[in-house]
């Protein structure tokens, strides 16, 4: 099993390093890292990790800025990540933290770390323990902030 981790120099938190740390806690897999300038460079990087470096799943980590132009970049990147998955029949877990989700730099760093770690667990589940995800279906899971929980308890 090989997991790809691609992240950006644009991000204000080293999300790639955090992802690798968390992945190693949950599975003994080999890891390929690929850092690109910004989120729009992630789709092809993820696809290359899958097709050229034989990853079984990829985490695509990014931190879009808070203004409208940044949101459009994130949207374009997301569409590319979905397309890359369809072209390869391989999951790419998108982990985006929008700068305006946090009140200040401290919360931003906390949120980026927590969301990255929780999605690293999801990546491991997807390739090694898919039945764990079925058990969690419909339970209102969130990555980063608190879970929403099921609508009926």
Residues 81-120 that bind a copy of itself (CB under 8 A): 81-87, 89-94, 98, 105-106, 108-109, 112, 119
Report the Cα–Cα distance between both ends of the chain, in Å, rounded: 37
Considering beta carbons, is residue 25 or 148 the nearer one to a copy of itself? 148
Q: Is position 66 an interface residue for a copy of itself (rule: CB under 8 A)?
A: no
| Sole binder of a copy of itself in the list 13, 27, 55, 58 (CB under 8 A) | 13
Helices (H), 27-128: 42-51, 68-88, 105-128
Q: How far is CA 123 from the centre of its chain?
A: 8
Q: How far is the CB of 71 from a copy of itself (least distance, A)?
A: 8
Q: Is position 1 an interface residue for a copy of itself (rule: CB under 8 A)?
A: no
| Sole binder of a copy of itself in the list 10, 56, 114, 129 (CB under 8 A) | 10
| CA 2/CA 14 separation, integer angstroms | 21
- Residues 25-64, mask of contacts with a copy of itself (x by CB under 8 A): --------xxxxx--xx-xxx-xx--xx------------
Please answer whether residues 101 and 111 qualify as being in contact, where contact means their C-beta atoms are separated by less than 8 angstroms.
Answer: yes
Count CA atoms within 13 Å of residue 153 on its CB side: 3
Tokens of 111: 């949120």
């Amino acid at each position: 099993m090989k997991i790809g981790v691609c992240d950006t120099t644009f991000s204000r938190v080293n999300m790639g390093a955090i992802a690798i740390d968390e992945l190693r806690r949950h599975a003994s897999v080999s890891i390929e890292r690929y850092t690109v300038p910004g989120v729009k460079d992630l789709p092809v990087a993820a696809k290359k990790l899958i097709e050229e470096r034989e990853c079984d799943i990829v985490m695509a980590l990014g931190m879009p800025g808070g203004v409208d132009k940044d949101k459009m970049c994130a949207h374009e990147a997301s569409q590319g990540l979905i397309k890359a998955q369809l072209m390869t029949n391989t999951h790419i877990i998108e982990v985006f933290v929008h700068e305006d989700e946090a009140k200040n730099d401290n919360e931003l760093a906390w949120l980026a770390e927590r969301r990255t770690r929780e999605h690293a667990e999801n990546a491991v589940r997807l390739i090694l323990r898919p039945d764990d995800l079925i058990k969690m279906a419909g339970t209102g899971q969130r990555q980063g902030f608190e879970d929403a929980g099921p609508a009926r308890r």
